[in-house]
């Protein structure tokens, strides 16, 4: 992301020679730098002017770096903070991450690396502000839940909504269950010039087939048993506005033909009537099915598919927009806590980030509500968030990681095999080969936590203690690795390169 405006940095360090050198270098690179020698001075600066990134030394006279970090996150939660110290340790790094630091560097460090980190931290802050601005705009216009997120996928959705909102062409919204397809449809309506007209939503899968045509187009008195009065359908009720048809893939073939005629002409007939009526409605349809595959199978009309598929908006699942999870969780906490002071513990935050969330945003909202209900204090732990999920889905514990793993041959593990191959290529490092015999669960510790700890130690040994490379090989973030090192009490003396 290239941003034209200069990045505003506050550098907090009592080592004047270091701040003189670093502030000069950053200034020459186009940063706007303010220097503070103490935590108290930094707090005064932060209350008087705005910053994008704070770089803090861990050891400061008076308020130390960790305490200052806590004050900053309390005052300015959106400000990104980088901890910089010559007294680094896994414990202090982990604690800084828990308190919301963007990242952690140990002195002496590469100035170029620090510049790059500041740039990325500032970009993260600006993206969050942009996403919040879009969300607040949608909130003002819809009065409903805003679209929340800073991921590329959700920003593309919002951008497409704004570009096509005023068009008359049908829109097809694709996405898994729980991704927020109706929210996208409502946003399309309220961003459009139809916002003062009706928005009508009909879940076609929830209406019995024999009643669906009547619900959609209305019926005349006596059209069928029980039709004791004239009734306008959703199409008429949405005149001048937007008609949202959810689960369009479930539509009965007979109703599909009538919907196609309406889309092509804007005309329809109530059930039991010969009179042709006309309305002007923007149709938005949504489905969690692959409609093209349904066309190939003969379950959905090809002509209707192509008529609906003028503009397509794909709503990404939450597993593809992981950077949005905590933003959404924070929104749901504030919306559902009803004035109660509730927050997620660091363990709960990590558990949410590690979970693939198959139920998407709807599941996350329910998890947060469950956590609020089950938590007697102010801090929500993973045990409350994930209560009953394992039993419902037949999954191993997502929280305690205490269940025994299945008996398996290590030779069948591609990660183990790859790691063993890598060990052989490093001089001076003892090879680690998979055991030739089947593991005996009765004789050895095969708890998942124990296996995970041993595997992390093995990877660290391969990369010579380099945490960044270890995290890449393990397929996790550096923050996650630091947390696991702390949890498992793993210490490697060699610092990151």
Pairwise CA distance, residues 339 & 185, whole Å: 30
Residue whose token pair is 């042709």: 276
Pairwise CA distance, residues 203 & 176, whole Å: 15
Show pLDDT as tens, one digit a residue, over the chain (497 residues).
444 578 999 999 888 888 888 888 899 888 999 999 998 899 888 888 889 999 998 888 888 888 888 888 877 877 889 987 765 566 776 777 777 888 888 777 778 888 889 988 888 787 666 655 555 554 444 445 578 887 889 989 988 998 999 999 999 999 999 999 999 999 999 889 998 999 999 999 888 887 888 889 988 887 777 777 888 889 999 999 999 999 999 999 989 999 999 999 999 998 888 899 999 999 999 999 999 999 999 999 999 999 999 999 999 999 999 888 888 888 888 888 877 888 888 888 888 888 889 999 999 999 999 999 998 888 899 889 987 664 444 443 443 333 333 333 444 444 444 434 444 443 333 334 444 444 444 444 555 666 777 788 888 887 777 777 777 777 777 767 777 777 777 766 444 44
Residue whose token pair is 């290529």: 425
Sequence-separated contacts (24+) of 165-170 with Cβ below 8 Å? 165/189, 165/191, 165/192, 166/192, 166/193, 167/282, 167/311, 168/282, 169/310, 169/311, 170/263, 170/282, 170/283, 170/284, 170/285, 170/307, 170/308, 170/309, 170/310, 170/311
Q: Alpha helix (H) ranges present in 165-208?
A: 181-191
Cis peptide before 108 (omega within 30 of 0): yes
Q: Is 281 exposed, middle or buried (0-12, 13-18, 19+ CB in 10 A)?
A: buried
Instruction: With H, G, I as helix, E, B as strand and everything else as coil, classify residue 18.
Output: helix
Domains and CATH numbers, the chain: 8-127 (3.40.50.2300), 144-224+231-316 (3.40.50.300), 319-393 (1.10.8.60), 410-488 (1.10.10)
Token code pair at residue 453: 């700890």
Closest by CA to 375, choosing from 415, 332, 413, 341, is 341
pTM check: above 0.85: no
Token code pair at residue 225: 């048993």
Token code pair at residue 457: 């130690």
Closest by CA to 84, choosing from 52, 61, 111, 62, is 111
34 DSSP β-pair partners: 10
Q: Describe the strand order of the beta sheet including 103-106 as a list of residue ranges.
A: 32-36, 8-12, 53-57, 80-85, 103-106
Cα 33 to Cα 2, 18, 118, distances in angstroms: 19, 14, 12
Q: What's residue 260's pLDDT?
A: 95
Q: What's residue 89's pLDDT?
A: 61
Query: 364-388: b or e for each residue (b if 16 or more CB lie within 10 Å)?
Result: bbebbebbbeebeeeebbbbbbbbe
């Amino acid at each position: 992301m290239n941003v034209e405006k200069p990045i505003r940095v506050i550098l907090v360090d009592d080592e004047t020679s270091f701040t003189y050198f670093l502030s000069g270098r950053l200034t020459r690179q186009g940063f706007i730098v303010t220097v503070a020698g103490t935590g108290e001075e930094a707090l005064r600066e932060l209350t008087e002017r705005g910053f994008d990134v704070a770089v803090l030394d861990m050891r400061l006279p008076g308020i130390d770096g960790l305490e200052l970090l806590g004050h900053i996150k309390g005052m300015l939660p959106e400000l990104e903070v980088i901890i910089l110290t010559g007294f680094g340790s896994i414990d202090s790094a982990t604690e800084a991450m828990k308190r919301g630091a963007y990242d952690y560097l140990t002195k002496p460090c590469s100035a170029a690396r620090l510049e790059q980190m500041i740039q990325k931290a500032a970009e993260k802050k600006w993206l969050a502000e942009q996403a919040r601005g879009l969300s607040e705009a949608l909130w003002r216009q819809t009065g409903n839940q805003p679209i929340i997120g800073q991921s590329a996928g959700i920003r593309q959705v919002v951008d497409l909504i704004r570009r096509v909102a005023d068009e008359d062409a049908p829109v097809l919204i694709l996405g898994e269950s729980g991704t927020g397809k109706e929210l996208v449809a409502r946003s399309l309506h309220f961003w459009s010039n139809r916002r003062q007209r009706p928005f009508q939503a009909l879940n076609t899968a929830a209406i019995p087939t024999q009643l669906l045509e009547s619900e959609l187009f209305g019926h005349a008195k006596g059209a069928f048993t029980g039709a004791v009065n004239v009734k306008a359908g959703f199409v008429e009720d949405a005149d001048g506005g937007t008609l949202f048809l959810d689960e369009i893939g479930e539509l009965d073939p007979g109703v599909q033909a009538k919907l196609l005629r309406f889309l092509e002409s804007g005309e329809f007939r109530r059930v039991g009537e010969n009179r042709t009526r006309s309305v002007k409605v923007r149709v938005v349809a949504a489905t969690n099915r692959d409609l093209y595959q349904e066309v190939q199978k003969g379950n959905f009309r090809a002509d209707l598919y192509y008529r609906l598929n003028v503009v397509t908006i794909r709503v990404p699942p939450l597993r593809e927009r992981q950077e949005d999870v905590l933003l959404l969780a924070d929104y749901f906490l504030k919306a559902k806590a009803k004035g109660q002071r509730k927050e997620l513990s660091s363990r709960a935050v990590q558990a949410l980030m590690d979970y693939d969330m198959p139920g998407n945003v709807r599941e996350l909202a329910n998890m947060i509500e469950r956590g609020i209900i089950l938590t007697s204090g102010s801090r929500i732990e993973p045990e409350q968030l994930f209560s009953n999920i394992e039993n419902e889905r037949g999954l191993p514990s997502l929280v305690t990681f205490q269940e025994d793993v299945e008996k398996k041959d290590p030779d069948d593990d591609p990660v183990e095999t790859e790691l063993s191959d890598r060990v052989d290529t490093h001089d001076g490092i003892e090879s680690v080969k998979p055991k030739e015999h089947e593991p005996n669960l009765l004789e050895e510790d095969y708890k998942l936590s124990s296996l995970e700890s041993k595997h992390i130690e093995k990877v660290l040994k391969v990369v010579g203690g380099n945490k960044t490379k270890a995290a890449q090989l393990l397929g996790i973030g550096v923050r996650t690795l630091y947390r696991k090192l702390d949890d498992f009490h793993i210490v490697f003396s060699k610092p990151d390169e």
